[in-house]
Amino acid sequence: MNEKIAVIYQSHYGATRRYAERIAAELGADIIERKKASAAMLAGYDCVIYGGGLYAGGILGVSLVAKNPVENLVVFTVGLADPKTTDYTAIIDKSFPEGSNKPLCVFHLRGGIDYKELSFIHKGMMGMVKKAAEKKPEAERTSEDRLFLETYGKAIDFMDRDSIAPLVSYVNGIINGATR
């Protein structure tokens, strides 16, 4: 089969872009930055993979694929939290409300942060998260809270190139007709 695949992404600081590039290379897919993508462009693909960073409880730029018909939509998110211990239900529900185009599957990948590179607004947001975590009694802090406080202000990279393997396998299943 000669299925046409697109990996569309929106990234603020580069982690989502790096994952998107790796996914596109593994699948032989076209890679398109979100700001260069259009609804009309989506129709030309048999499978669309959308990647966006997690910001303020939503997926960056996801409205392109949520509001427009996309065949075989697969989504990946990139954030700081450990995907193994984080519940993303509220984020997915907010990003794909009733009546929107729903993804076949959503994968969650871990990115990184360099506080020196953050925008003024993002620095402020992270400062508020820090204050909220510090206000919690030690016994009520989650492992994510403790890790956040321990790494606050530092450059940290949680990216794992191998973490894309389940997504690549899933999309290969779509292409080969095993997953739909």
Asked if residues 71 and 47 have their Cβ atoms less than 8 Å apart, the reply is yes
CATH code reported for the domain at 1-111+158-180: 3.40.50.360
Q: Is the separation of the CB atoms in 75 and 59 below 8 Å? A: yes
CA distance 161 to 23: 9
Question: Could you give the 3-state DSSP secondary structure of residue 124?
Answer: helix
- Asked if the model's pLDDT at residue 180 lies above 70, the reply is no
Per-domain residue ranges of the chain? 1-111+158-180, 112-157
Q: Is the pLDDT of residue 36 over 50?
A: yes
What is the model's pLDDT at position 65? 92
Q: In whole angstroms, give the CA distance from residue 176 to residue 36.
A: 29
The pLDDT value recorded for residue 172 is 93
**Secondary structure class of 120 (helix, strand, coil):** helix
How do beta strands 73-79 and 105-110 pair? parallel
Average pLDDT, the chain: 89
What average pLDDT does this structure show over 105-124?
87
pLDDT in tens, 94-112: 999 888 888 999 999 999 8
Q: Name residue, tokens 């089969």.
A: 1
Give the integer Cα–Cα distance in Å for 151 and 123.
Answer: 14
**What is the spatial distance between Cα 114 and Cα 154, in angstroms, rounded to a whole number?**
6
Question: Do 78 and 109 touch, CB atoms closer than 8 A?
Answer: yes
Task: Give pTM, 2 decimals.
Answer: 0.85
pLDDT at residue 34, rounded to an integer: 95
User: What is the model's pLDDT at position 1?
Assistant: 46
Q: Phi and psi dihedrals of 97, rounded to 5?
A: -70, 170
Tokens of 168: 């690549």
In 3-state terms, what secondary structure has residue 156?
strand
Q: Are strands 155-157 and 112-114 parallel, antiparallel or unpaired?
A: antiparallel
Distance CA(125)–CA(95), nearest Å, equals: 20
